[in-house]
Amino acid sequence: MAVLTEYLSGSADGTAGYDIKINFDGSGWTEANQQAFIDAADFLSSVILSDLSDVNATFLINGSPRTLSIDDLEIDASLQAIDGPGGILGSAGPYTPLAADGDRVEELPWLGVMQFDIAEFEPGGFFEDADLYAATILHEMLHVVGVGTIWQEKGLLTGAGTIDPRFTGANAMFEYQALYGSAYAADPNAATGVPVENDGGPGTADSHWEEDIFTNEIMTGFLNLGVNTFSNLTLASLEDIGYATTYVPTCFVAGTVILTCHGWRLVEDLQPGDRIQTRDNGLQRLRHITDSTAPTAWQRQRGTLRPLQITLPDQGSGEMRRLVVSRQHRVLLADAVAQRMFGADEVLLPAKDLLGSPAARILPPTGSVRYLNLLFDQHEVISANNLWCESMLAGEEARRALPETERLLLEASSHTRPARHLVRGKRARHMVARIARHDRLRAMA
């Protein structure tokens, strides 16, 4: 690949999904240092689903007005001499338009700038470490998209300038509970929002997650050696500021019964160490339980937090089985259609992909919903309300929420390998429609 002057992520023609155009301005660019921008833009186009309104807008850039036609976000990236290695890495953020031809109804960034010190690419410079460089570019591109930079104007930041600023988005508050349960439990002000950084001065305070709590999350104010993780906390915050994203929590709802070595037990009564019946591996010891609550108000704000009810007849008796889960929780289906479409006798698909069939419906926000999920040494298929569905498939953010002893055990395992072939989206819904058309949507024995 040659050195580029511009790059467009998302759809090839810019007509669908969230597209990011990067202008590589000035000199100093190489294929290697451009790749981190390309990877970050491609990643954000994969997790942000919004196709924002096209807009013609005028911006004041370097003292001169500039009119652009934008879909969905444009970024001016440049490498400049700032203060040499070991100093300021760079800066990034969105521009505010002077005028626009029609208002973009989404009120989300249109144009941004990302500037970095070219000296940091020299031997001994910060960007000599490829992983830290990639994390820096994703971090700063998230600022351009709006993380930390538009929280206040969106009315989602309280306590700015104090010792305890908080982000109040409902989805991020949910993930604070789910991913950082011990910190949430020890936080006397947890109900007021997600802790935001109050140290570091302008550019750091009030615009990042609190480093002391969230450590190596990608959007704390201080990058760490090793992995800096894009977690569900940051993804959920993108949903809160107005983007449609791939974010949906994955959990059982309190009141669900799980098949254990002692028979059926309520999911909320289970404890780490309990032995749970699995479809593939007999009785397996439960390692960890995530536990969080979505109040009614949060469900009204964000439909992603509303639970979904699955109703399926038993394969043998025809007796109806019902299960309430979060929309993204995967359930097990088996049918000849799955074999023809995916080459697998059994597949796991998100509950939300059953919508449109008689098997699923979204429940209205009539009260708080307690969500729990179960983590084993590996991804398992377990029985919940007599329906086979998945345990937690732990990504990096889920692992960081665990006690250290459990995290070390998981790191020695192959936990990221799914228990079945995973299907989702248009093809999964097409499979469900074909099975339903022949009246074969059934709970598996």
| Domain shared by 170 and 122, yes or no | no
How much is the pLDDT for 37? Answer: 95
Residues 6+ apart with CB under 8 A from 190: 176, 177, 184
User: How many domains is the chain partitioned into structurally?
Assistant: 3
Asked if the structure places residue 247 within a domain, the reply is no
Asked if the structure places residue 172 within a domain, the reply is yes
| Domain shared by 197 and 130, yes or no | no
Asked if the structure places residue 443 within a domain, the reply is no
Angle at Cα 59 formed by Cα 54 and Cα 62, nearest 5°? 145
How much is the pLDDT for 396? Answer: 46
Q: What is the DSSP string of 180-221?
A: -HHHHHH-TTGGG-EEB---SSTTTTTSSB-HHHHTTBTTBS
| Domain shared by 336 and 416, yes or no | yes
57-68 as b/e: b if 16+ CB within 10 A = bebeeeeeeeeb
Query: Residue 313 belongs to a domain with what CATH number?
Result: 2.170.16.10
| Domain shared by 261 and 337, yes or no | yes
Q: What is the pLDDT along the chain (445 residues), one digit of tens a residue?
A: 689 999 999 865 555 678 999 999 999 999 999 999 999 998 898 788 778 888 788 888 777 888 888 888 999 999 999 888 877 888 899 987 776 665 544 588 989 999 999 999 888 888 988 888 989 999 999 999 999 999 999 999 999 999 999 999 998 998 898 888 889 999 999 999 999 999 987 789 999 999 999 998 999 998 887 778 888 899 999 999 999 886 666 789 999 999 999 999 999 999 999 999 999 999 999 988 877 778 787 787 667 788 999 999 877 777 889 999 998 899 999 999 999 999 999 999 999 999 999 999 999 998 889 989 898 988 999 999 999 999 988 654 455 445 555 555 555 555 568 899 999 888 999 999 999 998 888 877 6
Extract the tokens encoding 201.
């001065």
| Domain shared by 14 and 85, yes or no | yes
- Measuring CA to CA, which residue among 278, 431, 425, 420 is closest to residue 350? 425
How much is the pLDDT for 188? Answer: 97
| Domain shared by 134 and 276, yes or no | no
| Domain shared by 192 and 274, yes or no | no
Choosing from 194, 209, 241, the residue where a domain stops is 241
Asked if the structure places residue 246 within a domain, the reply is no
Query: Residue 90 belongs to a domain with what CATH number?
Result: 3.10.170
How much is the pLDDT for 182? Answer: 86
Choosing from 191, 220, 241, the residue where a domain stops is 241
Residue 160, domain extent: 154-241
Contact 247, 238 (CB under 8 A): yes
Choosing from 127, 145, 163, the residue where a domain stops is 145
Contact 351, 360 (CB under 8 A): yes
Does the predicted TM-score (pTM) go above 0.75?
no
| Domain shared by 140 and 165, yes or no | no
Residues 6+ apart with CB under 8 A from 361: 308, 309, 311, 355
Contact 114, 90 (CB under 8 A): yes
How much is the pLDDT for 14? Answer: 55
